[in-house]
């Protein structure tokens, strides 16, 4: 079939799909081919799609029933085709894109993979599309929002289109606002203040989750973040929604602020949505900077991640090694302290040579503190030791 523009067939996971031939859209080195092509396709998001497949299968197994799935911003339909082909127990995949060319390609790809009976493809605005399903017995078990930039414009209709117990996946690629380069944009979009700290990617996940929490609470819906990750230039959060004012209240209670001292690395959390009053660092007296309101609850569920791990081992994914590494790290840090440190940042600030990170972790453990690595940053670690102890240990190790 011809689409009137250059295409090629690629393989990803267990599907074979037609996508725009990206090499035809690079005229100069700075060109970003996925956005130049008539239909969106980004090969570098394979890992993102792999993890989504694992999450959806885990969700299906935990629910123990057949699922209806929605991807309202589908592009070439690759993610949707993978859900239909690779996830057992999916009875329907509702795809949509505002771009009519994308709809043609996504429909063709469903046929190419023999899942046209499961997959429907629509052509309208994502919010309109989702709103059509925001009624009892029409709602989805899983909605995947994978937009350009922030997921916020689609969050409300996605929440309304989810069944009780459904799972919402959110990608955010607007890292400049979320990581504090454009704080006003972050406050406008996500309703929380970011900070340019070494753990800004974790703050990004928490700001996305916080925005979701407050939006869901308006509908008396609570959220539980079951998995999240930060890879390359985006963050992704997966949250199960539960209907009910009480569970919504419980989620809102997990909102709060992170207070950070840029002088001595001290950080603390303040739970509650009202503005924190304590503004001077208890350790060094410097005025504390504030991030939030944002989600202070868990950003991953250990059990959910271990089920994902099991799924990953059964699938022969191209990036299995990287996926297993991410899942092990996320699991390991799921219940650890909010925020992490990096040895580099401490040494940079204190003008010290950088000691091996392993030595710092060993010493912390030896002194009776918890110390775990984080998937957010290969040079990062979480600990329950106060910043003063972390600084002291790093300093001693460089002496
Ligand atoms: C980042 S791409 C999606 C990539 C896809 N999820 C994947 O995994 O390959 C975003 C898509 O959203 C579509 N889009 C943008 N605005 C939209 C809107 N208001 N309603 C529906 N689709 C929209 C674009 O045409 C594009 O295909
Ligand atoms: Zn301080």
Q: Is the dihedral of CA 376, 379, 385, 389 positive or negative?
A: negative
- Ligand whose nearest atom lies closest to the CA of 101: 1
Six-digit token string for 341: 């440190």
| Residues paired with residue 66 on neighbouring β-strands, in sequence order | none
Q: Do residues 198 and 374 make contact, with C-beta atoms less than 8 angstroms apart?
A: no
pLDDT at residue 275, as a whole number: 65
Pocket test for ligand 1, best of 12, 52, 75 (most atoms within 8 A of CB): 75
Pocket test for ligand 1, best of 147, 150, 157 (most atoms within 8 A of CB): 147
Distance 341 CA to ligand 2 centre (A): 14
Instruction: Label residue 109 left, alpha or beta by phi (over 0 means left) and psi (-120 to 50 means alpha).
Output: alpha
Residues with CB under 6 A from ligand 1: 40, 42, 45, 49, 73-75, 78-79, 96-99, 102, 125-126, 146-148
Backbone φ and ψ of 126, nearest 5°: -60, -40
Backbone φ and ψ of 170, nearest 5°: -130, 125
Distance 319 CA to ligand 2 centre (A): 41
pLDDT tens for each residue of 65-124:
999 999 999 999 999 999 999 999 999 999 999 999 999 999 999 999 999 999 999 999
Instruction: Locate the ligand 1 atom nearest the alpha carbon of residue 153 and give its number.
Output: 19
Residues in the chain predicted with pLDDT less than 50, given as ranges, are none
pTM: 0.90
Instruction: Locate the ligand 1 atom nearest the alpha carbon of residue 71 and give its number.
Output: 6
Distance 387 CA to ligand 2 centre (A): 9
Backbone φ and ψ of 172, nearest 5°: -130, 120
pLDDT at residue 28, as a whole number: 77
pLDDT at residue 383, as a whole number: 98
Six-digit token string for 271: 């739970």
pLDDT tens for each residue of 285-335:
999 998 989 999 999 999 999 999 999 999 999 999 999 999 999 999 999
Distance CA 259, CA 363 (A): 26
Burial of 114 (0-12, 13-18, 19+ CB in 10 A): exposed
Q: Give all domains of the chain, ordered by start, each with its CATH number.
A: 7-295 (3.40.50.150), 302-398 (3.30.56.70)
Pocket test for ligand 1, best of 76, 97, 155, 234 (most atoms within 8 A of CB): 97
Tell me which residue has its CA closest to atom 16 in ligand 1: 98
| Residues paired with residue 223 on neighbouring β-strands, in sequence order | 241
Distance CA 310, CA 305 (A): 9
CB atoms within 10 A of CB 278: 10
Q: Do residues 75 and 22 make contact, with C-beta atoms less than 8 angstroms apart?
A: no
Residue with tokens 């819906």: 221
pLDDT at residue 276, as a whole number: 59
Six-digit token string for 63: 């629910």
- Ligand whose nearest atom lies closest to the CA of 71: 1
Residue 315: strand, helix, or coil:
coil
CB atoms within 10 A of CB 153: 13
The sheet with strand 371-374 has its strands ordered as: 341-342, 377-383, 371-374
- Ligand whose nearest atom lies closest to the CA of 105: 1
Tell me which residue has its CA closest to atom 27 in ligand 1: 75
């Amino acid at each position: 079939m011809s689409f009137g523009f250059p295409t090629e067939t690629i393989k990803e996971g267990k599907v074979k799909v037609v996508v725009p031939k990206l090499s035809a859209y690079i005229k100069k080195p700075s060109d970003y081919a996925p956005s130049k092509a008539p239909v969106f396709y980004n090969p570098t998001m394979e890992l993102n799609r792999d993890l989504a497949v694992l999450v959806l299968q885990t969700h299906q197994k935990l629910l123990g029933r057949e699922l209806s799935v929605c991807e309202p911003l589908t592009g070439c339909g690759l993610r949707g085709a993978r859900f239909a082909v690779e996830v057992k127990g999916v009875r329907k995949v509702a795809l949509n894109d505002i771009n009519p060319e994308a709809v043609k390609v996504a429909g063709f790809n469903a046929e190419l993979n023999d899942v046209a009976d499961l997959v429907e493809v629509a052509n309208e605005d994502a919010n309109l599309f989702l709103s059509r399903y925001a009624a009892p017995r029409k709602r989805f078990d899983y909605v995947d929002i994978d937009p350009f930039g922030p997921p916020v414009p689609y969050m409300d209709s996605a929440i309304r289109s989810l069944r009780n117990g459904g799972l919402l996946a959110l990608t955010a690629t607007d890292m400049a606002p979320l990581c504090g380069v454009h704080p006003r944009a972050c406050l406008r979009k996500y309703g929380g203040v970011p900070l340019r700290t070494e753990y800004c990617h974790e703050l990004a996940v928490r700001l996305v989750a916080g925005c979701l929490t407050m939006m869901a609470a308006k509908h008396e819906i609570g959220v539980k973040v079951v998995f999240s990750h930060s890879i390359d230039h985006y963050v992704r959060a997966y949250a199960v929604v539960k209907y009910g004012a009480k569970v919504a209240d419980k989620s809102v209670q997990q909102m709060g602020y992170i207070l950070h001292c840029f002088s001595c690395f001290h950080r603390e959390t303040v739970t509650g949505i009202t503005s924190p009053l304590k503004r001077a660092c208890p350790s060094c007296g410097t005025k504390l900077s504030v991030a939030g309101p944002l989600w202070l609850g868990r950003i991953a569920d250990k059990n959910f991640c271990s089920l994902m791990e099991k799924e990953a081992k059964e699938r022969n994914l191209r990036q299995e090694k990287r996926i297993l590494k991410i899942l092990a790290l996320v699991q390991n840090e799921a219940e650890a302290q909010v925020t992490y440190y990096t040895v580099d940042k401490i040494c940079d600030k204190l003008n010290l040579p950088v000691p091996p990170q392993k030595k710092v972790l060993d010493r912390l453990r030896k002194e009776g503190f918890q110390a775990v690595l984080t998937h957010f940053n290969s040079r990062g670690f979480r600990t329950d030791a106060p910043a003063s102890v972390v600084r002291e240990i790093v300093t001693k190790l460089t002496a």
